């Protein structure tokens, strides 16, 4: 059934029959990811359509076609597994790094007589927390090096006590 035209330039379809309160919010980032996935699948589909057209021109038998498609499916599965494993490893490395940094950050802040480090504006374990911790650790290391090499004046001490954390990407 074709959608009916309603009003000036509006189409009435199934999506208009769903009450607004039941439509979930989708972030722009989620839409971008879905668009990229859709494009990837469309490219695979186009490739198979082109190859099928070439096979039709040569009257290639169904057994060869099935073997080729099975080989393609296996390759795609292998690539997906490799990508998934790589991403899982990267996430695990980031989490391990954050766990290694926390004691060092705490020790440096204690050594410099600063308040404990807080990530109140970041979700624990998030990439924003990682960037905030990296920035804080670099700041603390430079302050610690400055403390050991020179005497800190009152003006410097005021600068040291800066913000406890920033959950922005550096």
Summarize pLDDT for 107-127 with one digit per residue, the tens.
Answer: 999 988 888 888 888 888 889
pLDDT-wise least confident of 13-17, 67-71, 140-144: 13-17
pTM: 0.57
d(CA 163, CA 99): 21
**Are 170 and 135 in contact, with CB atoms under 8 Å apart?**
yes
Nearest CA to 145 among 158, 160, 133? Answer: 160
Cβ neighbours of residue 123 under 8 Å, at least 6 residues apart?
129
Rg (CA), the chain: 28
Domain ranges in the chain? Answer: 61-147
Residue recorded with tokens 């204690």:
110
């Amino acid at each position: 059934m074709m959608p009916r035209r309603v009003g000036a330039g509006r189409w009435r379809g199934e999506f208009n029959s769903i009450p607004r309160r039941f439509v979930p919010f989708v972030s722009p980032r989620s839409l971008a990811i879905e668009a990229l996935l859709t494009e990837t699948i469309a490219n695979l589909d186009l490739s198979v359509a082109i190859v099928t057209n070439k096979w039709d021109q040569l009257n290639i038998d169904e057994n060869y076609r099935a073997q080729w498609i099975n080989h393609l499916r296996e390759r795609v599965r292998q690539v997906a597994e490799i990508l998934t494993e790589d991403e899982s490893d990267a996430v695990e490395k980031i989490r391990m790094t954050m766990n290694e940094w926390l004691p060092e950050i705490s020790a440096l802040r204690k050594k410099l007589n600063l308040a404990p480090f807080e990530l109140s504006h970041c979700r624990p374990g998030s990439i924003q927390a990682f960037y905030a911790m990296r920035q804080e650790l670099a700041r603390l290391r430079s302050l610690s090096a400055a403390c050991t090499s020179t005497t800190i004046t009152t003006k410097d001490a005021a600068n040291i006590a800066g913000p406890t954390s920033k959950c922005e990407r550096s």
